[in-house]
Amino acid sequence: MPARQPFTQVDAFTDRPFTGNPAAVCVLPATRDPRWMQLVAREMNLAETAFLVRRPDGYDLRWFTPTLEVDLCGHATLASAHVLWEEGHLPGGDTARFHTRSGLLTAVQRDGLTWLDFPATPAIECPAPPDLEAALGVPLAFVGLTPFDYLVEIDSARAVREIRPDLARLERLPGRGVIVTARSATADHHHHDFVSRFFAPAAGVPEDPVTGSAHCALGPFWGARLGRTELLGYQASEHGGLVRILLAGDRVHLGGSAVTVLRGELLV
């Protein structure tokens, strides 16, 4: 009889099932071969699959898209913390500590939300790559480069919602992906401060529903423009989701909810 590896699928940055961003979470009894983890992520075919292994001072955490391992992922970290608390791996009041490629990341429960402590990754203004404007099909008001992605501001929230990029052209650009953003329309201001979408076809994710790591750049970007350290962002994908942001120097605190939607077992 083969060993059985439980997994849990969680919708992150939402309090309603079938919205937000789904991630699969595997709490492993021991470290596994990265090739096996990549095959599992490909089989799951979600934006991210997270793998956790307990250690004395927390958990080792790795994230895989269907095609590659990534250095930072917000929604799958939120999903991982949710699973640890919900399934009794950690008491609800304990801080979840994750050792990752991006250093130590933590998650705590506060005011009915999970709050992630992540590094800020501000965008540095740069010239637009030759194909970027053509791939997006809209004029670019600002182009910046983060450690992972291009961040592009365009002229309206409506344009962000309606954009239909040429994914084949985006896939040829360097880096992980492209964040597209605009200030929220006046009617939305009491709900959220800015809207965004995120496209990463080169990482096997044509459009990510709600991208926590993108908000490590969006927070500093909009915080500087709006003169605020507390922000609310809406990622306007088909699923959609809200990300609360608290800016704290070189750190960004991301707040959101999560909902378990599926539990199963891998026959490995």
d(CA 98, CA 101): 10
User: Which of these is catalytic: 43, 48, 69, 125?
Assistant: 48
| Strands in 65-172 per DSSP E | 69-70, 96-100, 103-110, 113-119, 124-125, 142-145, 149-153
H/E stretch holding 224: helix 215-226
Q: How many CB atoms lie within 10 A of CB 230?
A: 14
Strand-pairing partners, residue 182, are 195
SS3 state of residue 36: helix
d(CA 72, CA 105): 10
Residue with tokens 């962002």: 233
SS3 state of residue 85: helix
In the residue annotation, 86 being an active-site residue is answered as no
- 262 — phi, psi (to 5°)? -160, 140
CA angle 226, 229, 232 (to 5 degrees): 75
Torsion of CA 117, 119, 125, 129, to 10 degrees: -100
Q: How many CB atoms lie within 10 A of CB 195?
A: 24
d(CA 20, CA 13): 5
Catalytic residues: 48
